[in-house]
């Protein structure tokens, strides 16, 4: 019989930890929280100092009974939930729900689920940290008071099912204000003059951009100015005026924290923050490795610290030395600056065991797990490598009175770039660095062509999920555990929709934000929200009492609620009308918002309940019957293409039909998709027997190709 009962949150974590402990330990999972505030009421006693009223979560009764029985038959209970506020609160709730004896109950935490980490934690138990519990209670109560006070007003005044939140409302405001910036943006014209040149000595070609004259930079603002400069340089000799070579050192990015992991996974893997955190949780809790069983592969994934344990840094050093050589090691071990809002409670996100390379364990992981693990592993190893040494070259080129400028760079020593380079949101569409020929002042250049191109300044880009997380982090809004849920909530509420990867506010989102800005100013104020996060951190550090924070907040907030309820008018959101007749009653269908996005509905509801999905024409005719092909979605939300005559015509394709013809048989070409996303330059013939399908990927043929 087991003497010690260990309780964790998930079965995966239980399985991994159980592998490292002997037969005297029984490891059970609580399946997350076992107690919470009730859903039907606020659950906070406003009359008695904001005392929360916790209830056992519906459906958890049998599990609680099972855990109680296991606890009674054990000598002691070890609470081993996650090492953060939420994990501490789960342990505290378990102690209360299971009626555990404090003298026989202890708390252990581990930043990584490895044999050494688990055994060390078990040997170093502690009591529950009530400062962490109180910080979590303060956040939970604050969010409940805000949500359950404002949401009913929105239900009555706008629409049922709406919600407001202390963090989500600020995030929504940021998206709406960015949209307003874009709408109010006035583009300004400017021109670029790009010269295609050839270095006469080496015969190597390169590009240079118009810079100005010897007095300085000149901005070309219109076509007239561009033509004047072109005429002035048309018959001038292009000569190298000066060459400047500058050695530069480029440092690696620090190992991941929660926000940077979400951003990089979005850039490089196309993962949403929620998906990133879900997969990271799997890697942390343990994955079945062939021949080894369940193994925790990464450290805890909710962190704002770039700190790395000495043992991990040494393991990385040994790997780099053995794989790349001594010259790829930095002169001294790397440390990274702490962020201004960082709590620094946990290490950075890194591989638990450096020797588990992505290549070595790829067969044991799913495709998505492998991608994310590879990203984390490579980022960590690169963060411990030597800097890259780069020489930048700036060449000024005289053309009469004017100057053109060419820039390029050469990697002298790749350092960490051998393994990993951080992505940048701003680099989309940016020209690749060119390698310039070796030039000296006075060298002659041949002009192949000068292209004058008109441009207009662009408005700020819409937020993506990743850039919104970055902005929230920079402004101190939310914490690592709240970024992904916040973004998921505003999408689920239909306050925001995704166009490609951009977040676009809906009319509903704009209406709610405007009401919040007018009547609940402090709730949607980023400075107020960031200040509240700091107060919660103070509770965690034992510097403030959690109920004091709620008292200070609730006094002014109660008055705001009373005023808002009387002042906010009823808002009617009129659905967008279409020219599509309802096939049942003849009324013109309208576009409504639903749980899974927009759909067509009859305005005669409830007399007429006709509704159907919105279908988009793709500009291609059906190869079977000649009718229009439509973009559709399956029940699981996966995009596919079908005929408008369905069910009379049964044509459908997961790949995108095009108007291009197969170069082999002349039938329709399909652009391949992967999980609903188009694959660039990858085409197959509609006829599966056609020889053009011999390879998995085919580039679209250009005219004259066979």
**Residues of each domain in the chain carrying CATH 2.70.20.10:** 189-251+388-456
408 alpha-carbon distance from chain centroid: 32
Question: Catalytic residue positions?
Answer: 300
Q: Which residue intervals of the chain bear CATH 1.10.460.10?
A: 138-184+470-567
Rounded-to-integer distance, Cα 469 and Cα 160, Å = 28
Label the pairing between strands 51-52 and 576-581: unpaired
Rounded distance, CA 702 to CA 459, Å?
A: 35
258-383 fold: Topoisomerase I; domain 4 (1.10.290)
Residues 6+ apart with CB under 8 A from 481: 84, 85, 86, 258, 302
Q: Are 352 and 297 in contact (CB under 8 A)?
A: yes
- Residue 12 near residue 33 (C-beta atoms within 8 A): no
Rounded Cα distance between 292 and 117, Å, is: 17
Right CATH for 4-128 from 3.30.505.10, 3.30.200.20, 3.40.50.10470, 3.40.50.140: 3.40.50.140
Joined together, the tokens standing for residue 403 give: 């100057």
459 φ, ψ (degrees, to nearest 5): -70, 165
Instruction: Return the SS3 of 152.
Output: helix
What the block records as the tokens of 616 is 């988009």
What's the confidence (pLDDT) of residue 59?
94
574 three-class SS: coil
Range(s) for CATH 3.40.50.140 in the chain?
Answer: 4-128
Q: Are 564 and 156 in contact (CB under 8 A)?
A: no
CB 197 within 8 A of CB 445: yes
CATH superfamily membership of 138-184+470-567: Topoisomerase I, domain 2 (1.10.460.10)
Taking the C-alpha atoms of residue 479 and residue 86, their distance in angstroms, rounded to an integer, is 12
692: left (phi over 0), alpha (psi -120 to 50) or beta: alpha
Burial 129-138 (b: 16+ CB within 10 A, else e): bebbbbbbbb
Predicted model pTM: 0.81
Q: Which of 523, 467, 453 has its CA nearest to residue 498?
A: 467
Query: Of 556, 106, 112, which Cα lies nearest the Cα of 356?
Result: 112
Nearest alpha carbon to residue 42 among 152, 170, 188, 118:
152
Reduced to 3 states, what is the DSSP secondary structure of residue 224? helix
What 3-state class would DSSP assign to 58? coil
Average pLDDT, 10 consecutive residues per value, the chain (706 residues): 88 92 93 94 95 96 96 95 94 96 94 92 95 96 95 90 91 96 94 97 96 95 96 95 96 95 94 94 94 92 92 95 96 79 73 95 95 98 97 96 96 96 65 87 96 93 94 91 92 88 91 94 92 94 95 94 90 83 90 73 90 85 92 75 87 91 89 76 85 53 36
What top-level class would CATH report for the domain 189-251+388-456?
A: mainly beta
pLDDT at position 544: 96
Q: What confidence score (pLDDT) does residue 583 get? A: 87
Q: What is the model's pLDDT at position 427? A: 47
Query: Where in the chain are all domains bearing CATH 1.10.290.10?
Result: 258-383
Predicted pLDDT at 695: 45
And the tokens for 609?
């309940």
Q: Comparing C-alpha atoms, which of 189, 665, 660 is closest to residue 455? A: 189
The closest of 381, 458, 382 to 417, measured between CA atoms, is: 382
């Amino acid at each position: 019989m087991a003497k010690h009962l260990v309780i964790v949150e998930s079965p995966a974590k239980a399985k991994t930890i159980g592998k490292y402990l002997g037969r005297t330990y029984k490891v059970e999972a609580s399946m997350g929280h076992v107690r919470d505030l009730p859903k039907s009421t606020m659950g906070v006693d406003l009359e008695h100092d904001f005392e929360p009223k916790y209830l056992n979560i519906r459906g958890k009764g049998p599990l609680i009974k099972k855990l109680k029985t296991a606890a009674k038959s054990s000598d002691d209970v070890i609470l081993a939930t996650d090492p953060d506020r939420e994990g501490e609160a789960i342990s505290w709730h378990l102690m209360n729900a299971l009626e555990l004896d404090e003298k026989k109950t202890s708390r252990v935490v581990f930043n990584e689920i490895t044999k050494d980490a688990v055994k060390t934690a078990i040997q170093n138990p502690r009591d529950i940290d009530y400062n962490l519990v109180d910080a979590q209670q303060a956040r939970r109560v604050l969010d409940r008071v805000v949500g359950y006070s404002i949401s009913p007003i929105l239900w009555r005044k706008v629409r049922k099912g709406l919600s407001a939140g202390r963090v989500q409302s600020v995030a929504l405001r940021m998206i709406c204000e960015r949209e307003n910036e874009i709408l109010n943006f006035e583009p300004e014209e400017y021109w670029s003059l790009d010269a295609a040149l050839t270095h006469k000595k080496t015969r190597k070609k390169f590009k240079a951009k118009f810079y100005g004259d010897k007095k300085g930079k000149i901005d070309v603002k219109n076509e007239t100015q561009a033509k004047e400069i072109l005429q002035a340089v048309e018959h001038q000799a292009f000569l190298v005026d000066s060459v400047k070579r500058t050695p530069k050192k480029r440092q690696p990015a620090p190992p991941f924290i929660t926000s940077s992991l979400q951003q990089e996974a979005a850039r490089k893997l196309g993962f949403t923050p929620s998906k990133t955190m879900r997969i990271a949780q799997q890697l942390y809790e343990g994955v079945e490795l062939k021949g080894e069983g369940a193994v925790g592969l990464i450290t805890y994934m909710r962190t704002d610290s770039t700190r790395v344990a000495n043992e991990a840094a040494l393991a990385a050093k040994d790997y780099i030395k053995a794989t790349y050589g001594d010259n790829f090691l930095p002169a001294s071990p790397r440390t990274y600056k702490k962020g201004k809002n960082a709590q620094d409670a946990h290490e950075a996100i890194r591989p638990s065991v450096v020797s588990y390379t992505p290549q070595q364990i790829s067969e044991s992981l799913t495709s998505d797990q492998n991608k994310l693990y590879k990203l984390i592993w490579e980022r960590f190893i690169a963060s411990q490598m030597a800097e890259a040494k780069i020489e930048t070259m700036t060449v000024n080129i005289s053309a009469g009175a004017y100057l053109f400028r060419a820039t390029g760079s050469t990697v002298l020593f790749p350092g960490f770039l051998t393994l990993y380079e951080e992505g940048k949101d701003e680099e989309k569409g940016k020209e690749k660095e060119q390698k310039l020929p070796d030039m000296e002042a006075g060298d002659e250049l041949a002009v192949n062509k000068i292209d004058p191109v008109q441009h207009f300044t662009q408005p700020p880009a819409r937020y993506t999920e990743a850039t919104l997380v970055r902005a929230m982090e920079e402004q101190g809004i939310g914490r690592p555990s709240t970024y992904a849920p916040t973004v998921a909530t505003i999408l689920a509420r239909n306050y925001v929709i995704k166009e490609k990867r951009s977040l676009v506010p809906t009319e509903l989102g704009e209406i709610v934000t405007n009401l919040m800005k007018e009547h609940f100013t402090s709730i949607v104020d980023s400075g107020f929200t960031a200040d509240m996060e700091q107060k919660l951190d103070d509770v965690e550090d034992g510097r403030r009492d959690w109920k004091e924070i709620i008292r200070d907040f609730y006094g002014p907030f109660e008055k705001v609620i009373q005023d808002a309820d009387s002042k906010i008018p009823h808002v009617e959101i009129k659905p967008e009308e279409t020219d599509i007749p309802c096939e049942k009653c003849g009324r013109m269908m309208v576009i409504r918002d639903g749980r899974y996005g927009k759909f067509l509905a009859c305005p005669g509801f409830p007399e007429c309940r006709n509704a159907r999905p919105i279908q988009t024409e793709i500009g291609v005719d059906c190869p079977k019957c000649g009718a229009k092909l439509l973009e559709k979605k399956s029940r699981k939300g996966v995009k596919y293409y079908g005929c408008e005559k369905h069910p009379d015509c049964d044509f459908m394709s997961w790949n995108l039909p095009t108007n291009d013809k197969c170069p082999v048989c002349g039938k329709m070409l399909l652009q391949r998709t992967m999980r609903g996303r188009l694959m660039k330059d990858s085409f197959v013939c509609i006829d599966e027997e056609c020889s053009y399908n011999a390879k998995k990927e085919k580039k679209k043929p250009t005219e004259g190709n066979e």
